[in-house]
Amino acid sequence: MTGLFPPPMGLIVELTHRCPLQCPYCSNPLELERPASELDTSAWMRVFDQAAELGVLQLHFTGGEPTARRDLPDLVRHASARGLYTNIITSGVLLDEPLMAALMAAGIDHIQLSLQDIEPENADRIGGYRGAHAKKLAAAQRIRDAGLPLTLNFVVHRQNIQNVARMIDIAEKLGAERSEIAHVQYYGWGLKNRAALLPSRAELDATTATVEAARARLKGRMVIDYVVPDYYASRPKSCMGGWAQRFINISPSGKAMPCHAAETLPGFTFPSVRDTPLAAIWQSDPAFLRFRGTDWMPEPCASCERREIDWGGCRCQAFALTGDAGRTDPACALAPDHAVMAEAVAERGIAPPPFIYRRINAGSERAPVEAVV
Ligand code: SF4
Ligand code: FES
């Protein structure tokens, strides 16, 4: 590759792996980073300065639970002052009035709020936090009252998929501009809980029909993004818009990676923003260059007309399901390993097994947490 590669569109800022919830499909790694290893405020601000210089447009604050960091308003203010668009992806359970006011004063542009279900009891069970659903609804109202656009994220799976129509209804009632109905993606904790989460083909088809009907009904009023599970697909998704093509993901301790799940891949040493400038990471780090573009591709991708559309699918899924990150994503019907998807569907069983909950022993800095499991 010659010349400079175009800058990433977005920086995914995992401020902390701490979270009061314990969702069994969390995309965080199975080994969570400890609070003591987190980058401090000034280190994050330095990274945002570098991001702005590099040409990054958007910062997505996530976690864990980003509002568990007391310095979140300071970080938002700093990023806004550098001209970066700021988005927070949150469970909302810590988003009280003072924090909402502080974020508004800091210049936050957008908040995405996640809900586990529409039935409070089941929502609290899935998140492993009693009372979470009520707090989330209050947070949604707070976001609307502040005049910010609201996006509601619903992660759907076999234990809430029957409620998708009601999820869309509540998004409409709360005045959301956008809602995301996203089937669980099977990395990290999601892969560990796959049998408890993977819906049947019939359930998926019914959900797709519900979403299509709602899209037609709500056209011009609410956008509905829909993410389907790879396990019933015939072509893979363009994961992260291609490896190291559009995003840099930074872990709480400062590890820079092309995606949130990349540290599951063996044989990689990911650089740290503590000692390497973001521009150098983006342009020349070997881990970023490893699967960028199409040169690395084996057949059938190498000669496929979709190779610059889906970029061969997801490297982390290829590794998780085949043991080799350099193979074609098994979600593709053309992949030599495509049969593993059907095998996983066959293993899901008639009744879901109990959830294995994500846990971190340290609670939030901001509020006590109460687990119900
Ligand atoms: Fe995508 Fe590769 Fe499948 Fe073609 S063969 S559709 S590039 S994953
Ligand atoms: Fe890592 Fe898809 S999650 S490349």
pLDDT digits (tens, 9 = 90+) for 274-299: 999 999 999 999 999 999 999 999 99
Q: By C-alpha distance, which of 194, 261, 235 is closest to 329?
A: 235
What is the atom index within ligand 1 of the atom nearest the CA of 307? 7
Task: Kindly give the distance from the C-alpha atom of residue 103 to the centroid of ligand 2, in angstroms, as a whole number.
Answer: 30
> What is the distance in A from the centroid of ligand 1 to the CA of 296?
13
Q: Give residue 90 CA to ligand 2 midpoint distance, Å.
A: 21
Ligand 1 center to 237 CA (angstroms): 10
Phi, psi (deg, nearest 5) at residue 271: -75, 160
CA–CA separation, 317 and 322 (whole Å) = 8
Looking at residues 29-33, what average pLDDT do you find?
Answer: 85
Rounded to two decimals, the pTM is: 0.92
- In this prediction, residue 290 carries a pLDDT of 97
Does 352 sit in the ligand 1 pocket, CB within 6 Å? no
For helices 132-145 and 97-106, give the axis angle rounded to 10 degrees.
40
Tell me: pLDDT of 31 over 90. Answer: no
- Find all residues with CB under 8 Å of 324, minimum gap 6, and list them: 318
Least confident residue range of 69-83, 259-273, 341-355? 341-355
Over residues 27-42, mean pLDDT: 91
pLDDT of residue 373: 28
Instruction: State residue 360's pLDDT score.
Output: 59
For residue 239, the ligand 2 atom closest to its alpha carbon is: 2
- Note the pLDDT of residue 313: 97
Are residues 201 and 345 in contact, defined by beta-carbon separation less than 8 angstroms? yes
Which residue has the least CA distance to atom 8 on ligand 1? 312
Per-chain mean pLDDT for the chain? 93
Instruction: Determine the pLDDT at residue 2.
Output: 57
What is the rounded average pLDDT of the residues 171-193? 92
Are 292 and 5 a contacting pair, CB within 8 Å?
yes
